[in-house]
Structure 1
């Protein structure tokens, strides 16, 4: 997997007013943590993140600070401004070669299910990503799932996916995709406007935006929470 290069500058000021000034100049305050070097604060222009944030694939980052210091990392948490939806803050987890990390990897679906082609059913996607645990060298951009043999009324479960070098942490009984029969689709209740439902576009209750203070996720083997210094300072302004 090719890492996306992100060039930034070290940040020394910790006051909220300093972050506010940076954002007005289209810079994004960031933290990188998890390695031997501890927590490092930096900032980069928001355009530096286009290829790693606005993509459906999982990506590694090569963070270069002040043109000399380099880290290989993954995004651990992203905060967007609640009104403008612009990037507000990003936490990166430094990758250590012999230390497994926990992260989300997106799913992609290959082929047209037999139950759709032959039985007139409709495939309903239940999950768009999986939580995995792996060494940095074994991380993948996406997990491809072949659904061509999925018949009407059948479901594909997480247990049907196998990787020798990646551990899937979600319950093996969870459904990834199902093919609903035409009768089931006809009898399905049509959700009222604003009501959550399960469709091909995503799973029930899927979050569509990042909330503040999302730095408490388990980030690496044997520990929970980001432990970053930017947790207190990075509140919506």
Structure 2
């Protein structure tokens, strides 16, 4: 996992759309590192390496080691621009982090014991309304994900944003209403069949 959280970058001086296109032709992705009381730095990273890392959920919500020249800087992935029609990353943004400054970052929600909970065993259907959420915390307290234990959920049960269990020193931002449903289990509606409709029609003909 450690190699997945290391970003090997090279500095770049050329800017503009033409320079970015030339970089992409050589298998590089243009990017920028900013924040942390330092000037923004223009960088490039290898597309194949970045693409491999982006396949892993942890890359989006973990502290990363950005290696640039002889130095290493702690960053988080802040923005990603993809080609609208092709499997290419066009641009990447990283945010420097400081140990004493809080981060705002979107992290995933993992749902546990979903298939074994009473509501699902009774035939209920699960609706995941929120699968990621923004949190605020110091870098050292950043969780990789939030967990929702569905082990005791029955038919009609709902877990709201306000009921999420947060690790110590981690807060939710105000991006969602506290009463927003995160996950719920609902009873499937009875399905009406074409045969039932035909029987109703036939019954109507007999009584006419």
- Sort the TM-score into its range (normalised by shorter chain): 0.7 to 0.9
Task: Indicate the SS of the match to 2:189.
Answer: helix
Structure ranking higher on relative contact order (CA contacts 8 Å, 6+ apart)? 1
Contact persistence 1:52–1:61 (CA under 8 A) = no
Query: In the aligned structure 2, how far is the partner of 1:183 from the partner of 1:15?
Result: 56
Q: Deviations over 1:203-232 (max 9, x none)?
A: xxxxxxxxxxxxxxxxxxxxxxxxxxxxxx
Aligned residue for 1:83? 85
Query: In the aligned structure 2, how far is the partner of 1:71 from the partner of 1:7?
Result: 11
Q: Deviations over 1:59-86 (max 9, x none)?
A: 32111112x1221111111000122130
Task: Indicate the SS of the match to 2:108.
Answer: strand
Query: In the aligned structure 2, how far is the partner of 1:174 from the partner of 1:13?
Result: 46
TM-score (norm 1): 0.73
Deviation at 1:141, TM superposition (A): 1.1
Query: In the aligned structure 1, how far is the partner of 2:7 from the partner of 2:16?
Result: 24
Aligned pairs for 1:58-77 (under 5 A) are 58-66=61-69, 68-77=70-79
Contact persistence 1:10–1:41 (CA under 8 A) = yes
Deviation at 1:51, TM superposition (A): 4.7
Aligned residue for 1:168? 172
Task: Indicate the SS of the match to 2:177.
Answer: coil
> Which structure shows the higher strand fraction?
2
Aligned residue for 1:208? none
Number of residues paired by the alignment?
184
Task: Indicate the SS of the match to 1:32.
Answer: strand
Q: Deviations over 1:32-80 (max 9, x none)?
A: 11112220110011122235422233232111112x1221111111000
Structure 1: segments with no counterpart, 5+ residues: 188-237
Query: In the aligned structure 2, how far is the partner of 1:172 from the partner of 1:108?
Result: 18
Deviation at 1:30, TM superposition (A): 0.7
**Which residue among 120, 131, 134 is the counterpart of 1:131?**
134
> Rg larger in 1 or in 2?
2
> Which structure shows the higher helix fraction?
2
Structure 2: segments with no counterpart, 5+ residues: 193-208
Contact persistence 2:80–2:91 (CA under 8 A) = yes
Deviation at 1:15, TM superposition (A): 2.5
Contact persistence 1:52–1:59 (CA under 8 A) = no
Query: In the aligned structure 2, how far is the partner of 1:47 from the partner of 1:165?
Result: 36
Task: Indicate the SS of the match to 1:115.
Answer: helix
